Amino acid sequence: MCGIMGYIGSEEAYPRIIEGLHRLEYRGYASAGVALLTENQELNVYKCKGKVSDLEAFARQKDCSGSIAIGHTRWATHGAPNDVNAHPHYSGSKNLAMVHNGIIENYASMKIELQKRGHVFLSDTDTEVLVHLIEEIQKQEKVSLSKAVRLALKQVVGAYAIIVLSKDNPNQLVVAKKGSPLVIGIGVNEFLVASDATPM
Ligand code: GLU
């Protein structure tokens, strides 16, 4: 049972995500990661095997600016607990990054279909398949991010709580859940989203 966390607001997102991930540590995990939309409009993913403190050490010299970010502590179900399989996962173009709690049961057939369309996967996770599918639908159907997420999830069998961050939508986090917990916190000029209320 992993932890997911998202922040969008007027403050720096990275310290809030890290604090939230620390509060979610009790749920158990083997790797941690963050995706940040920086002040330079770059969508950066930092992730590694180990503890949230290892992630903090890894990200220390990197650009952690920006007021929108997502984070994850992973309880591996598909793929070994290593750096590559850690979340967040990028879409093929690296325009999207996603964190996921749960299991996509039919990921293998979706992966084969996407590979036939030229998608290349870096990890062994079910999660990476879903974020590629969302991007493929965006491309094919020319729909908004939230619509593409909705259409992709119609194809999914399984349980999930997801947060999607997009380079092209700097003021939006798209979230969805089915069978996995997800809490939304509404603050003053800020929103938080997490697997449970402890980060709030
Ligand atoms: N099934 C995903 C994975 O193995 C998510 C696991 C989780 O909930 O942490 O990466």
pLDDT in tens, 13-51: 999 999 999 999 999 999 999 999 999 999 999 999 999
pLDDT at residue 120 in the model: 98
- Decide: 47 in ligand 1 pocket, CB within 6 A: no
What is the rounded distance in angstroms from the CA atom of residue 129 to the CA atom of residue 83?
17
Structure tokens given for 149: 């997420």
Of residues 85, 89, 111, the one with CA closest to residue 99: 89
What average pLDDT does the segment 110-122 reach? 98
pLDDT in tens, 67-87: 999 999 999 999 999 999 999
pLDDT at 125 over 90: yes
In a mutational test of the pocket of ligand 1, which residue from 125, 160, 177, 180 has the highest number of ligand atoms less than 8 Å from its CB? 125
pLDDT at residue 38 in the model: 95
Of residues 163, 178, 130, 168, the one with CA closest to residue 8: 163
Main-chain phi, psi angles of 157, to 5 degrees: -105, 125
pLDDT in tens, 152-177: 999 999 999 999 999 999 999 999 99
DSSP-derived secondary structure letter, 80: -
Dihedral over Cα of 182, 66, 169, 117: its sign: negative
Strand partners, 162: 100, 176
Strand partners, 81: none
pLDDT at 1 over 90: no
What is the pLDDT confidence band of residue 136, given thresholds at 50, 70 and 90?
very high
What average pLDDT does the segment 117-127 reach? 98
Report how far apart, in Å, the C-alpha atoms of 111 and of each of 75, 92, 103 are. 21, 13, 14
What is the pLDDT confidence band of residue 2, given thresholds at 50, 70 and 90?
confident
Share of the chain above pLDDT 90, in %: 98
The number of the ligand 1 atom at minimal distance from the alpha carbon of 100 is 5
Strand partners, 174: 164
- Decide: 66 in ligand 1 pocket, CB within 6 A: no
What average pLDDT does the segment 121-128 reach? 98
What is the rounded distance in angstroms from the CA atom of residue 48 to the CA atom of residue 32?
6
The number of the ligand 1 atom at minimal distance from the alpha carbon of 78 is 4
Instruction: Report yes or no: 184 and 175 within 8 Å, Cβ to Cβ.
Output: yes
